[in-house]
Amino acid sequence: MTDSQWTIGIVILVLVSFILVGLKQKARESMEYGFGGRYTGRIGGGAAIASNWMSAASLMGLAGLIYLNGYQALAYVAGWTGGYVLLLVLLASQIRRFGKFTAPDFVGERYGSPAARFLTAVICIAISVIYCVAQFKGIGMIFSFLFGIDYRHGVIYGGLAVISYLVLSGALGVPRNQQLLYFVIITSFIVPLMWLAHRLGYFWLLPQFGYGEAVSDLSRQFQVDFAAPFGTGSVYEWCALCFTLMVGTAGLPHVLSRFYTVPNLRDARWSVVWGLFFIALVYWSAPAYAVFGKLIEARMGHVLPPAAARTMADIVVLKTAVLAGVPGWLAGVLAAGALSAAFFTVAGLLMNGAASVSFDLYYRVFHPQASELSRMKVAKGATLALGGLVLLLALNPPGLIAEITAVAFALAGNTIFPLLLLGIWWGRANDDGAVAGMLVGVVCTFAQPLFGSLSPQVAALFPLTSSALCGAPLVILVMIAVSLATPPPPDEMQRFLASEVHGHLD
Amino acid sequence: MSRQDPRYHVNLFRPKEGHMKDEVLIILIVLIGWATLTFGFQVLLAFSRGRGIGDLLTGLTLFGLPLHFWFTGQFLPLWFIILCLVFNVYIDRITAYHSRKRDRTYD
């Protein structure tokens, strides 16, 4: 077999093995009748949080942006880890005590408003779609890399593959094994990195530390100052992006629901610490791929012009490995990890989005008498429809993977996060405030494409990927002002907040 | 509940006596730690460029990385883990404290 056949073989093997392991697990669990222990402790819970979080953006997009922008892109590293601090301290326990586990459910209950619920559902679906477009771009780039075809064909075949995978595992009823997924992702990301560090002559046992020497070598031997602060953007842009990713993390619907699979609150809190550690393992490693990529280019003597570098940035992880002469099977391991992360993220988001279409929109708003069966049908149809929509959008991706993902974070940070925050921490916030806040949040998110050409200040203050530094506080102010100008929420809700959400130990 | 003002309105900046007050205290401490090291550091880095501290931050190296790059790329994620750890230990303690206290008042 040739190298590329090995690569493709390994990728298929990994994806099929998820289904086989899942089927085996399902058989065992039904035999043990519920005692098979879905619950795997705090560490297992942490691995589930981490594997739910990892996507093509973490495994491909992050290294790509660091490769392009150096220090400026470390805003992604800090933003995608620091968000968990906000989530843990401000929202996790309280929302759990509140007892509503999806964003539309929470908003509908807390603000007692069908309109707010409807808007939240539409926004959550939009977030899922944007997030999925980034995943499809990653899948498309891997497919075009593996099979040597152009991007458009790659994304079509890749998209069809992920949708068939979703339908197949749905039809077989395969449970997702999050711990196994995390193990596959982390191994497939770090083992090739160790190989790379060894090959290039750096400390390979912990390549997360070993790549430091490579940064020094880049600036000494090749005059590439990779670490220069704020070289490709201002400090405002750095902070705005970092803040946006953080509040977006705390507002992302599929991240939020992760807290309810762990049976008790205390374990849920501790599994966040483990989850964050497992996530950080990947984020400590991603810059190393970027630095090694630059170094190999510099050593081979052809540094790409900016436009060409931007086109290949999202595949820099794989390309670096192949340029360094990694064996075919190891390239396959690397591709399989990124691909499974993207596959399962797409699966989770499309199913969440479809459930939202069927429950929050179809059942709650349009057909309150709809039967279980017709809701199922709508959910299945919606999965395919959303998948098709994502595929269409991914044919002409508007940016790099991490940039597209950042827009989804900005939308979540500008709309869902303020609603959750005030909903939990300010009893006076009401339905009118929530609706007004969400509308302002949507406008803030898309202010740059909408009004950027009219006013350069708006474009500078609300960059598309980083609109929440100004957006989220503005939305909070609007929510406070509108809530104070309109009647307070029912006493019943205010009492519930005071006695249940914040008074469980009084 | 009986000891609380029945007309209490939830507000982050005016927490109830008891568990909520302790909880809000640790939340604010963690948030200050989170904001200073994330954003405060970047502002310091940007405005001290070309001056003493700035040269120190970009000039010193740790594991081969310039100090500022190491701080943002490697230390910040670790710092976030530490913050979550501290928060959890503290919440575990105040939860134990307040549930013991509650049980005794019921006795």
pLDDT band at B3, cuts 50/70/90? very low
Mean pLDDT across the stretch A170-187? 85
Which pLDDT tens digit goes with each residue over A363-384? 888 888 888 889 889 988 999 9
- Beta-bridged to residue B62, according to DSSP, are B65
Helix, strand or coil, per DSSP, at residue A204: coil
pLDDT band at A37, cuts 50/70/90? very low
The CA–CA distances, whole Å, from A428 to A99, A149, A401 equal 19, 57, 39
Contact residues for B104 (Cβ-Cβ < 8 A; gap 6+) = none
pLDDT band at B58, cuts 50/70/90? confident
Chain A interface mutation, best of B5, B42, B95, highest count of A Cβ atoms under 10 Å: B42
Mean pLDDT across the stretch A27-54? 72
Chain A interface mutation, best of B61, B80, B99, B104, highest count of A Cβ atoms under 10 Å: B80
pLDDT band at B9, cuts 50/70/90? confident
Is B76–A90 a contact, with Cβ atoms under 8 angstroms apart?
Answer: no
Is B84–A85 a contact, with Cβ atoms under 8 angstroms apart?
Answer: yes
Residue A303 DSSP class: P
In terms of phi and psi (left: phi > 0; alpha: psi -120 to 50; beta: otherwise), the region of B62 is beta
Question: What is the nearest CA distance from A76 to chain B, expressed in angstroms?
Answer: 9
Residue A340 is assigned to a structural domain of this protein: yes
The CA–CA distances, whole Å, from A407 to A100, A260, A274 equal 26, 26, 27
What was the ipTM of the complex prediction? Answer: 0.92
In terms of phi and psi (left: phi > 0; alpha: psi -120 to 50; beta: otherwise), the region of A479 is alpha
**How close are the terminal C-alpha atoms of chain B, in Å?**
15
Q: Phi and psi at residue B61, in whole multiples of 5°?
A: -125, 150
| pLDDT reported for residue A35 | 38
Angle at A188 between CA A187 and CA A191, to 5 degrees: 70
pLDDT band at A25, cuts 50/70/90? confident
- Beta-bridged to residue B66, according to DSSP, are B61
- Looking from the CA of A267 toward its CB, the CA atoms found within 13 Å total 14
Least CB–CB distance from B80: residue in A276, A428, A494: A276
In angstroms, the CA A446 to CA A433 distance is 20
Size of interface A-B (CB pairs under 8 A): 164
| pLDDT reported for residue A18 | 87
The two structure tokens encoding residue A62: 């992050």
Residue A422 is assigned to a structural domain of this protein: no
Residue A415 is assigned to a structural domain of this protein: no
- Beta-bridged to residue A246, according to DSSP, are none
Is B58–A505 a contact, with Cβ atoms under 8 angstroms apart?
Answer: no
Amino acid at A219: S
Mean pLDDT across the stretch B16-43? 93
Question: What is the nearest CA distance from B70 to chain A, expressed in angstroms?
Answer: 9
pLDDT band at A1, cuts 50/70/90? low
- Quote the number of domains for chain A: 1
The two structure tokens encoding residue A380: 């299945």
The two structure tokens encoding residue A232: 């490709």
Question: Which residues in chain B touch residue A209, judged by CB atoms under 8 angstroms apart?
Answer: 63-64
| pLDDT reported for residue A384 | 92
Residue A367 is assigned to a structural domain of this protein: yes
Question: What is the nearest CA distance from B103 to chain A, expressed in angstroms?
Answer: 10
Is B64–A208 a contact, with Cβ atoms under 8 angstroms apart?
Answer: no
- Which residue in chain A is spatially nearest to B4 when comparing CA positions? A506
Mean pLDDT across the stretch A177-182? 87
Least CB–CB distance from A502: residue in B20, B69, B77: B20
Least CB–CB distance from A284: residue in B10, B58, B74: B74
Residue A456, number of CB atoms within 10 A of its CB = 10
Sign of the dihedral through C-alpha A436, A439, A444, A448: negative
Is B62–A212 a contact, with Cβ atoms under 8 angstroms apart?
Answer: yes
Is B39–A242 a contact, with Cβ atoms under 8 angstroms apart?
Answer: yes
Least confident of A64-68, A101-105, A334-338: A101-105
pLDDT band at A30, cuts 50/70/90? low
Domain CATH code at residue A56: 1.20.1730.10
Which pLDDT tens digit goes with each residue over A472-501? 999 999 999 999 999 999 999 999 998 888
- What rounded mean pLDDT belongs to chain A? 89
In angstroms, the CA B26 to CA A6 distance is 53
| pLDDT reported for residue B100 | 83
A103, A441 Cβ separation under 8 angstroms: no
Is B16–A502 a contact, with Cβ atoms under 8 angstroms apart?
Answer: yes
Is B8–A277 a contact, with Cβ atoms under 8 angstroms apart?
Answer: no
Residue with tokens 């100052």: A225
Least CB–CB distance from B1: residue in A90, A283, A506: A506
Residue A477 is assigned to a structural domain of this protein: no
The CA–CA distances, whole Å, from A345 to A50, A135, A255 equal 11, 8, 11
Contact residues for A29 (Cβ-Cβ < 8 A; gap 6+) = A36, A38, A175
Q: Phi and psi at residue A133, in whole multiples of 5°?
A: -55, -45
Is it the case that residue A288 has pLDDT exceeding 90? yes
- Beta-bridged to residue A426, according to DSSP, are B11
| pLDDT reported for residue B107 | 38
Which pLDDT tens digit goes with each residue over A384-437? 999 999 999 999 998 999 999 999 999 999 999 999 999 999 999 999 999 999
| pLDDT reported for residue A34 | 39
Question: Which residues in chain A touch residue B39, judged by CB atoms under 8 angstroms apart?
Answer: 239, 242-243
- Which residue in chain B is spatially nearest to A231 when comparing CA positions? B46
Least confident of A253-257, A320-324, B13-17: A253-257
Least CB–CB distance from A229: residue in B58, B85, B87: B58
Domain ranges of chain B: 19-101
Question: Which residues in chain B touch residue A215, judged by CB atoms under 8 angstroms apart?
Answer: 64-66, 69
Domain with A213 in it: 3-33+40-408
Contact residues for A327 (Cβ-Cβ < 8 A; gap 6+) = A3, A6
From A407, A414, A505, A385, select the one nearest A463 (Cα to Cα): A407
Residue A474 is assigned to a structural domain of this protein: no
Least CB–CB distance from B85: residue in A208, A243, A273: A273
Is B19–A84 a contact, with Cβ atoms under 8 angstroms apart?
Answer: no
In terms of phi and psi (left: phi > 0; alpha: psi -120 to 50; beta: otherwise), the region of A301 is left
Helices and strands (H, E) in chain A, number of each type: 25, 0
The two structure tokens encoding residue A102: 């999806």
Is it the case that residue A218 has pLDDT exceeding 60? yes
Chain B interface mutation, best of A49, A53, A85, highest count of B Cβ atoms under 10 Å: A85
In angstroms, the CA A47 to CA A413 distance is 24
Is it the case that residue A21 has pLDDT exceeding 90? no
